Amino acid sequence: MVAVSRSGSSGLSIRRPPGMNHNKPLTRIDQHLFDQVALEAQQIPRLRLNHNFHQESDLVQRFLNVLQPGSYVRPHRHRREQPGGGFECFLVLQGSIGLLLFDRDGQVIGMEELGAAGPTRGIELAGDQFHSLVALSSDSVLFELKQGPYLPSADKDFLKGFPLEGTAEARQQERHWRELFSGTDAA
């Protein structure tokens, strides 16, 4: 049995296997893990779930982020005090993800489709860059890497003017972003 918990005030869904030992010499990242986390992500309202390999206090955050179509990621950026510290690295291990980049006024200034089958499988995003993600296929699995420690109250700086998660407006916004990648009506 795996516990899904809320972390801090962020409301972030995090998967933590019971008795997880961060001192063990090996952690498998395999299809079984992808399938387990994807099934759990399908069953929660956010339609996405993190599986952390790090402790919140670790200096490097490393985790799987599993997204289902319909999961709304509010545009945000990561800021850190250290130069170069707000970067975020994404590598798609299964499925496909749309990455949207925004200017400070909320206009889309760039789009990248990332997919496990390529041609672009991952990116490193510079710090202080507003962005969002949309799942372009079911059970999409990202490996993410960024600077820690994880501080829920300071991890994300949200871009103003976008709806909060869990609202009808957020669902409509996510569908619109998916349409940008498909060129058709995303249901």
In the chain, where the domains are located = 3-19+27-182
Q: Is the pLDDT of residue 160 over 90?
A: yes
Task: Give kind and range of the element (H or E) at residue 95.
Answer: none
What average pLDDT does the segment 103-120 reach?
Answer: 96
Q: How confident is the model at residue 21 (pLDDT cuts 50, 70, 90)?
A: low
Please confirm whether the linkage preceding 152 is cis (ω < 30° from 0): no
In this predicted structure, the answer to whether residue 101 has a pLDDT above a threshold of 80 is: yes
**What span, in angstroms and rounded, lies between the C-alpha atoms of 73 and 53?**
21
Q: Report the C-alpha gap between 1 and 142 in whole angstroms.
A: 22
Q: Is the pLDDT of residue 184 over 80?
A: no
Written as six digits, the tokens of 17 are 């296997």
Residue in the structure block whose two tokens are 């995003």 = 125
How far apart CA 170 and CA 133 sit, in angstroms, is 13
pTM to 2 decimals?
Answer: 0.84
Q: Is the pLDDT of residue 78 over 90?
A: no
Question: Does residue 146 have a pLDDT over 70?
Answer: yes
Please give the pLDDT value at position 56: 87
Distance CA(124)–CA(152), nearest Å, equals 22
Report the mean per-residue pLDDT for the chain. 87
Q: Which one of 3.65.10.10, 3.90.1300.10, 2.60.120.10, 3.40.50.720 gives the CATH number of domain 3-19+27-182?
A: 2.60.120.10
What number is the average pLDDT over the span 163-175? 97
| Model confidence at 81: pLDDT above 50 | yes
Amino acid letter, residue 109:
I
Residues with Cβ within 8 Å of residue 83, at least 6 apart in sequence = none
Res. 155 pLDDT band, cuts 50 70 90: confident
Residues 6+ apart with CB under 8 A from 3: 15, 16, 17, 18
Is residue 85 scored above 80 in pLDDT? Answer: no
pLDDT at residue 13, as a whole number:
59
Q: Which residue from 180, 181, 170, 185 is spatially nearest to 72, judged by alpha carbons? A: 170
The residues that bridge with 64 in the sheet, in sequence order, are 51, 143
Question: What is d(CA 174, CA 129) in angstroms, rounded to the nearest whole number?
Answer: 19
Q: For residue 159, what is the DSSP state?
A: P
64 phi/psi in degrees, rounded to 5 = -90, 140
